[in-house]
Chain A
Amino acid sequence: MPGEAQLLQGTLDLLILKAVSLGRLHGYGILLRIGQISGQALLVEQGALYPALFRLLRQGLLKASWGTSENNRRAKFYELTATGRSRLRQETDGWNRLATAIASVLAAQPGEA
């Protein structure tokens, strides 16, 4: 698919945390939200989402509860825990540092170094 970026290993967790940090979401909603905010550039494989979600649940970064979706379907909703929130901050900082570093490496011109 054109314009679709490959997900880096380990970035899925970060994306999920970010998506959920913007509001309580169910699994499908998380997929939509990631697609929406990335301008459909990042598409998470549907089934791959759940193992990641459970991993985060187990780590205590997310909590889940059953509720009703906007179109009246029963669904399980996820939200950030306090630990999740601070983890998201850490990961975001880490990501930004990494992105800046990589960007400056890639931007280097011959003779500059």
Chain B
Amino acid sequence: MNVLDRLRSLLARLLAPARPDADLDEELRSHVQLRADDLERSGLDRREAERRARIEFGGHLKFKEESRSAIGGTFWEALGQDLRFAARMLRKSRSFTAVAVVTLALTIGANTVVFATLNALILRPLNVPRPESLYSIHRINDKSGNVSYPDYIDLRDRNHSFEDLVGFKIAQAGLYTGDEPQRAWILSVTGNYFDALGIQPHLGRMLHASDEHGPNSAPYIVLSYAFWHARFHDDPGVVGRVVQVNKHPYTIVGVAPRGFNGTLLFFGPDFFAPIVQQEQLEGANDLDARGLRGSIFQSLGHLKPGVTPQQAAEDINAISVDLQRTYPREHEHLPVALWRPSLYGEFLGGPMRAFLTALMLLAALILLAACANLGSLFAARAADRSRELALRLALGAGRGRLLRQLFTEAVLVSLIGGAAGVVGSLVLLRGLSVWQPFPRFPLSVPLTPDASVYAVALLLTLASGLIFGAVPVRQVLRTDPYGVIKAGLLRGEARRVSVRDVLLVAQIAICALLVTSSIVAVRGLSRSLHGDFGFDPRGAILAEMHLEMAGYRGDAVPAMQRRMVDAMESIPGVSAVGIIDWVPLTTGDYNGTFVFKDDAVDLKRANSVDKPALFRVSPGYVSAAGITVLAGRDLSWHDDEHAPSVSLVNQAFAKKVFGSETAALGRFFKQRDGTRTQVVGVVRDGRYQSLTEEQLTAIYRPLPQSQSSELSLVVRTSGDPEALAGAIRARLRGLDPGLPTFIQSWSRAMELVMFPSRVAAVALGLLGAMAALLSITGIFGLAAYSVSRRLKELGIRIALGAERHEVLQATLARPLALLAYGSVAGLLLGILASRVLAVIVYQATPRDPQVLAGVVLVMLLLGLVATWIPARRALAADPLVLLREE
């Protein structure tokens, strides 16, 4: 009965929250009227009677409050009231609300993004059945998990710890389905891979151990869901279709389930193929080479129930020791450990976990600093409202109620900010998930947030609201209503240096440091876009291919190369064409080769004179790449396998091996195999591997004398290189429709080399913006607080004739001094940090007037923005208005 009543009262209040209040008001009014009637009857006139009645009735507000809490179920009503009041207060002080919401949106958004990443990469288990018992085998010393195929077979068959042991390797091959040939990424898996992991097909079937009957016995592939979707448009008819892989017929037997991309988190293969097909897929078979680690990139499996990772590792180590005894030349025993497979054990998992944990901590610290700053801003507002608060206290409102009101405001702000932050972070996460910074590598990082991400975001939002709402609590609790109303001032002890000041200076210093670094990075980046690389990427377009993938072997390779160069030269608008095996400043690694002095006899490594980068090029490459020939001649088509061995060298090589550029021409050096090679030309130095490398030595050898089937056509045009792509594709298809080629401009291909500096610039920029925001809120908070506290004093000073600059000095001197200290400290730190930055970013130097000017400008702007509103308020302090308020 009682409970029911209470429920009904609560429900009624929820459904019609405004009514009972009005009801109560009316009842109290009627009471006063009735009393007044009585008094009137006793001889008073009506007005006097009503006045007396009201006075007798006493503290209306307090009784209302008490009555309300007596009515019960008032929590919701009070909350609604608080919310409405909070919304009104926030609307009234727009600048505070805007600053708080933007700050919280950014900081909570950043925390959400970082946590979602941490969650997706570290916390969330792999998307396979029973992920908790899945472990992979890694050597402890180099954390690598690769083994030779024969070793894998031994480990698989002889261990007692795994339910089954599977292995895989990453490979690339040319895929031709009848229209556009393309280079595809493959996960080459052992036959038992899918069955041991418990992966069920989306369509058709997966691969099974029973498919394997030795090398090249299982020409079957299983498409990944994403590739099936993108390339075959969800066509269920693909199962059973025969496609060409490196010009060998393969049957598509199935499609993998959605969301399964193998067991490595980063890698999204186009299709899965049996590892026994290695010879056809990769051009060579090393499955029988016990001494060659790497046929299996990683081996993993479910542990049997009750087996711990330590026991399993001991088991594997015992087998490994035994293998070393049996095959002392091929197998070296190195202790192994069992780790989680998704980030390649601790190889990536360790650094990734450390990095993301550090990032999470940093983000949380930023949030905390933001809360501290907003807290002081909030305290400034509470000080502004001290009269309102004191009045409410005096009228009988409980301190608890006041605090609840303040907390409601804080949490309302943080909820708005948090909601905005989460929406922003969702957009960012979606972008990051589909982001492909490396055009040639199928990065697959599913950062889709799950329930835990939203839960953490909500928790952080509420926590930050409560934290910054808590800052003015002491102030409110200390409020002495009579004192405040009388004096109009909060008594506050002004300490000389407070913790808040130190915190603020630290924030400003970090901000200045990040601003300095990001300006240095951006300057370096823009320099590197127009930098001198020793060649000219602008106006050149690259067509990258692997002749092996289209079945070219032996003599067919140089013939095809010559035909391609001729075909390119016939395109109108093309000024030069060349071939190189590896294009400088693009994905991958250059080849190094040992060279020896002409008179060297014992050609062992220790006697080599240099290890230059080796580029295998066709005649015409140097002009297609825009490399200046300083002395001698370019290579020619006559420098073939029958002609004497010749080479072009760069300036650095000429100087290092022969003493000077001019001395090198016509001289000889020896290669590893003893071939005497003559220097026929000296070309300009260049950048090869990265923009920040030390100058490398390099030699350019004619392709016919040093074959490679991996190559790129370099086509130079005076016009727009992108416009040439269609013509190049058409010519190449005319030569061989089954040859997968990848065409892009050299400048675009170089983006990968720029990637670290871009990421550094963007990351520093983001962090810098975040820090700038914090500094603004921090300075704003301090300045606003000091203005609020001294508003009356300022008014009086203005009334007594104080100049504007004196007023500003009185209020803003402290925040601006802190800004100056922080900025100088940050700038000095930034100059030191640039040395570190120079490793990543091309020509990063703080000794650049634009950097210094930029930093000073940014920090000044920051101070201006942060003190604008408080300064205007201080100047507008009108003594008349202030005194009238008394």
Contacts and interface: CB of A to CB of B under 8 A. Distances in A.
Interface of A: 26-29, 45-48, 50-55, 57-60, 69, 71, 73-76, 83
A46 B56 CA distance: 7
Given A47-B57, A47-B58, A73-B37, A27 B2 contact: no
A48 B37 contact: no
B63 A50 contact: yes
A28 B28 CA distance: 9
A47 B9 contact: no
A65 to B, nearest CB: 12
A51 B63 contact: yes
A31 to B, nearest CB: 8
Nearest to A60: B5
7 contacts: A29-B34, A47-B62, A59-B2, A71-B34, A73-B30, A73-B34, A75-B27
A51 B64 CA distance: 8
Nearest to A58: B72
B77 to A, nearest CB: 13
A60 B28 CA distance: 21
Interface in B1-49: 1-2, 5-6, 9, 23-24, 26-28, 30-31, 33-35, 37
Contacts of B31: 26-28, 46, 50, 75
A50 B60 CA distance: 11
B89 interface: no
A2 B162 CA distance: 96
B19 to A, nearest CB: 13
Interface of B: 1-2, 5-6, 9, 23-24, 26-28, 30-31, 33-35, 37, 56-60, 62-63, 66-67, 69-72
Contacts of B56: 46
A71 B37 contact: yes
B667 to A, nearest CB: 107
User: Taking each of B28, B58, B63, B70, which has the highest tally of chain A beta carbons within 10 Å of its own beta carbon?
Assistant: B70
Nearest to A59: B2
B5 A58 contact: yes
Nearest to B69: A51
User: Taking each of B1, B57, B71, which has the highest tally of chain A beta carbons within 10 Å of its own beta carbon?
Assistant: B71
Contacts of A28: 30-31, 34-35
Contacts of B71: 54, 57-58
Contacts of A58: 5-6, 9, 70-72
Q: Shortest 3 CB-CB distances between A and B: which pairs? A: A47-B63, A54-B70, A28-B34
A76 B58 contact: no
A60 B35 contact: no
A29 B23 CA distance: 18
Nearest to A72: B37
A60 B67 CA distance: 16
Contact of A50 (B1, B2, B67): B67
Contacts of A29: 34
A50 B72 contact: no
B58 A26 contact: no
Given A54-B67, A58-B70, A45 B30 contact: no
A32 B718 CA distance: 106
A27 B35 CA distance: 10
Nearest to B68: A54
Contacts of A48: 63
Nearest to A54: B70
Contacts of A27: 27, 30-31
A55 B62 contact: no
Nearest to B65: A51
User: Taking each of A29, A53, A54, A59, which has the highest tally of chain B beta carbons within 10 Å of its own beta carbon?
Assistant: A54
Contact of B58 (A45, A53, A71, A75): A45
Nearest to B5: A60
User: Taking each of A28, A57, A69, A75, which has the highest tally of chain B beta carbons within 10 Å of its own beta carbon?
Assistant: A28
Nearest to A56: B70
Contact of A73 (B33, B57, B60, B69): B33
A26 B33 CA distance: 12
B10 to A, nearest CB: 11
Nearest to A74: B30
Nearest to B4: A60
Given A71-B37, A73-B33, A50 B5 contact: no
A46 B57 contact: yes
User: Taking each of B24, B31, B62, B69, which has the highest tally of chain A beta carbons within 10 Å of its own beta carbon?
Assistant: B31
B34 A60 contact: no
A53 B72 CA distance: 12
A59 to B, nearest CB: 7
Nearest to A76: B27
A55 B58 CA distance: 20
Contacts of A73: 30, 33-34, 37
Nearest to B56: A46
Contacts of A74: 26, 30
A85 to B, nearest CB: 15
Contact of B66 (A51, A76, A83): A51
Contact of A60 (B1, B26, B60): B1
Contacts of A83: 1
Contact of B70 (A47, A55, A75): A55
A20 to B, nearest CB: 15
Nearest to A46: B57
User: Taking each of B23, B27, B37, which has the highest tally of chain A beta carbons within 10 Å of its own beta carbon?
Assistant: B27
A59 B70 CA distance: 10
A75 B37 CA distance: 13
Nearest to B28: A50
A75 B62 CA distance: 21
Contacts of A59: 2, 5
Nearest to B57: A46
B30 A26 contact: yes
A34 to B, nearest CB: 14
A52 B66 CA distance: 9
A36 to B, nearest CB: 12
A55 B70 CA distance: 5
A58 B66 CA distance: 13
Contacts of A45: 58
Nearest to A75: B30
A28 B5 CA distance: 26
B300 to A, nearest CB: 66
A76 B34 CA distance: 11
A47 B33 contact: no
A3 to B, nearest CB: 19
Nearest to A50: B67
B26 to A, nearest CB: 8
A35 B37 CA distance: 17
Contacts of B30: 26-28, 73-76
Given A51-B63, A58-B70, A58-B72, A46 B35 contact: yes
A75 B5 CA distance: 23
Given A50-B28, A60-B5, A69 B34 contact: yes
Contacts of B70: 50-52, 54-55, 58
B30 to A, nearest CB: 5
Contacts of A75: 27, 30-31, 34
Contacts of A71: 34, 37
A110 B59 CA distance: 48
Nearest to B71: A54
A52 B167 CA distance: 79
Contacts of A51: 63, 66-67, 69-70
A60 B37 CA distance: 31
Contacts of B58: 45-47
B61 to A, nearest CB: 10
A54 B74 CA distance: 12
A55 B34 CA distance: 22
B50 to A, nearest CB: 13
Nearest to A71: B37
Contacts of B57: 46-47
A83 B26 CA distance: 27
